Amino acid sequence: MTPRYIWFPSGRRPSREVMVGHVGLGGSNPVRVQSMLTSDTMNTEACVKEALGLAEAGCEIVRITAPTVKDARNLGEIKKALLAAGCDVPLVADIHFKPDAAMEAAQWVEKVRINPGNYADSKKFKTREYSDVEYAAEIDRIRERFTPLVELCKERGVAMRIGTNHGSLSDRIMNRHGDSPAGMVESALEFARIARDLGYHQFVFSMKASNPKVMIAAYRLLASRLAELDAAEKAAADGSSYEGWNYPLHLGVTEAGDGEDGRIKSAIGIGSLLADGMGDTIRVSLTEDAIHEIPVAKALLAARDLRTPPAEIAGRAFPCNDPFSYVRRPSAPLEVNGLKLGGEETFRVFTTADRWQALAHKIDRLGDFAPETTVETSGVVELDPRDEAAISDLNHSAQAHLVTVRDGLDMPVITAFRLLSLRLDARHPILLKDTLGDFTSAEGAAGDFLPCLLRAATNIGALLCDGIGDAVLVRGEPAPGQSLRIAYNILQAAGARIFKTDYVACPSCGRTLFNLQETTARIKASTIHLKGVRIAVMGCIVNGPGEMADADFGYVGGAPGKVNLYVGKVAVKFNIPESEAVERLVDLIKEHGKWVDAPAREEVAV
């Protein structure tokens, strides 16, 4: 059966309340902000200091990795020290591969996160067919391993996150569903069914991926499947009370990286789903000190446009053909000021005439961040997507036109462009804008960069991931050069126009075997000019290889001071001293024919 997409445009997806210690997730609670420590779990003092800093910054739930039973036991010491310091922030143990560590952690913390891809399975990347009988036997095996944890959590009132990650699905799921949003959803549901059978309901779901398009699709598919299961349960109950499938959602883009790119990727994934009305808690995952994640998460929540869309589209099916997998809206190719756009052409970057003028003296030195044309000279048709007469005129015109939403409308940007794409004949290309004219907003005028960046990334990025848009215009950021850099970086993060290397970098945690921030910076310095190459920088061999998603090359911590290098998911160089590893990575990229020398040109910074 084709899943039905549920869009919650006029508010929030209804969910039950799940308590994590004293903090409620879902229900009528606000969307909670959480983060994860980067300190070594065995270093109690460092963990306490980091957790106190996070709590003070507004982090409402703190996650800590528990790679071994010993680490899990130390969570008790961390908890004690935090309480002694007057901090009752709930703690979450992050578990991969080790049911024993989960059982120990559940004695000390308020929530346990398990990864259904590796809780009861070690990854072997085996290709095999499972008959229904064999598959059922696998589920029985999982039930046996998972039941003790569920019973312990139920008894102690400990919450759980069933947290699926793209790229670390079990071999069983991979063979039946592939490394796909459908596989991610089914992986989580296998564990949820077991928990429900045992009468345990204090859990939430997550569907993280480093690719925002995959992440968005997986959460939408999950919300849709949960709604179907809920409806079936309700029908079967036939008027009597029933246990719903309305579990809260934890949103996050995993391995988003650092700096502007990490913030943009997070805003696209998380912001898009918040705009759909999904999400009960969020974690912005940056390859930076964890404390930097909090202002970004708060700004993303503050940037949500909660205005109720017009009644005519509230509750309507989502405008794109297929919200669960990416399809670009099929417009006709068009030439604007000698620039080809629409159809299968490159996504274009527009600016305004005054910004073009301000940059005129250095436009030829802006390199990959140069504007391509101005909106004023483009002949773009601006309209209100609710204006049926204007839409009808365009749809009956013989020619294709570049179309955008008119400024000053009382609609959220995403809603307005979705409505436009729903009503406009598909052959007309669409110019996306980050704002509808409220670009003289307080934050823009005050030069507050972060809200402008996140709003542009959320609005334009979410629409690009929906398949809508052929050109983009960023005006919320007042600095002309920065607004162009943001526009190109959004196109890159949404996978719409690749003009530089793409990085998948884990945020680091207590398992990390090298300094991730410094190493990522060194790798970037050597490889940033490689268009279309995807490089993963992962702190440990336990989780790193599984979560590199579809990276071309991987730089993974193999042991303290030693690095393993990967081509795709295959390890090809082992135990390279850290001091040589970046150079050896470059050699590997050269060996595989993906290297080009950096262009020798004079460019100005934007």
Contacts with ligand SF4 by CB under 6 A lie at: 65, 506-509, 511-512, 538-540, 542-544, 547
Task: Give the residue with the Cβ less far from ligand SF4, 258 or 466.
Answer: 258
Task: Give the residue with the Cβ less far from ligand SF4, 286 or 472.
Answer: 286
Q: How far is the CB of 546 from ligand SF4 (least distance, A)?
A: 9
Q: How far is the CB of 222 from ligand SF4 (least distance, A)?
A: 22
Task: Give the residue with the Cβ less far from ligand SF4, 19 or 538.
Answer: 538
Q: How far is the CB of 553 from ligand SF4 (least distance, A)?
A: 16
Pairing between β-strand 562-567 and β-strand 570-577 as defined by DSSP bridges: antiparallel
Q: How far is the CB of 542 from ligand SF4 (least distance, A)?
A: 6
What are the counts of helices (DSSP H) followed by strands (DSSP E) for the chain?
18, 23
331-334 long-range contacts, CB within 8 A, separation 24+: 331/400, 331/426, 331/427, 331/428, 331/429, 331/430, 331/470, 332/400, 332/427, 332/428, 332/429, 334/400, 334/401, 334/402, 334/429
Task: Give the residue with the Cβ less far from ligand SF4, 262 or 507.
Answer: 507
Task: Give the residue with the Cβ less far from ligand SF4, 222 or 541.
Answer: 541
Task: Give the residue with the Cβ less far from ligand SF4, 41 or 44.
Answer: 41
**Residue 462 and residue 472 in contact, taking contact as beta carbons nearer than 8 Å:** no
DSSP states along 169-204: --HHHHHHH-SSHHHHHHHHHHHHHHHHHTT---EE
The first and second tokens of residue 43, run together, are 């270093």
d(CA 61, CA 68): 21
Q: How far is the CB of 541 from ligand SF4 (least distance, A)?
A: 8
d(CA 310, CA 10): 9
* Bridge partners, residue 334, by sequence: 341
Task: Name the region of 327 (left: φ>0; alpha: ψ -120 to 50; beta: rest).
Answer: beta
**Residue 87 and residue 52 in contact, taking contact as beta carbons nearer than 8 Å:** yes
CB burial of residue 24 (10 Å; 0-12, 13-18, 19+): middle
Q: Which of these, 140, 143, 96, 101, lies nearest to 115 by C-alpha position? A: 96
CB-based closest residue to ligand SF4: 539
Nearest 5°: the CA angle 308, 309, 315 is: 100
Task: Give the residue with the Cβ less far from ligand SF4, 20 or 542.
Answer: 542
Q: Which helix (H) or strand (E) holds 61?
A: strand 61-65
The first and second tokens of residue 173, run together, are 């799921």
d(CA 18, CA 193): 17
Q: How far is the CB of 544 from ligand SF4 (least distance, A)?
A: 4
Q: How far is the CB of 511 from ligand SF4 (least distance, A)?
A: 4
Task: Give the residue with the Cβ less far from ligand SF4, 221 or 506.
Answer: 506
Q: Which of these, 429, 256, 412, lies nearest to 344 by C-alpha position? A: 429
Q: How far is the CB of 128 from ligand SF4 (least distance, A)?
A: 27
Q: How far is the CB of 216 from ligand SF4 (least distance, A)?
A: 22
Task: Give the residue with the Cβ less far from ligand SF4, 163 or 544.
Answer: 544
**Residue 563 and residue 556 in contact, taking contact as beta carbons nearer than 8 Å:** yes
Task: Give the residue with the Cβ less far from ligand SF4, 221 or 538.
Answer: 538
Q: How far is the CB of 207 from ligand SF4 (least distance, A)?
A: 17
User: DSSP secondary-structure letter at 375?
Assistant: S
**Residue 466 and residue 323 in contact, taking contact as beta carbons nearer than 8 Å:** yes
Task: Give the residue with the Cβ less far from ligand SF4, 284 or 542.
Answer: 542
Q: How far is the CB of 543 from ligand SF4 (least distance, A)?
A: 4
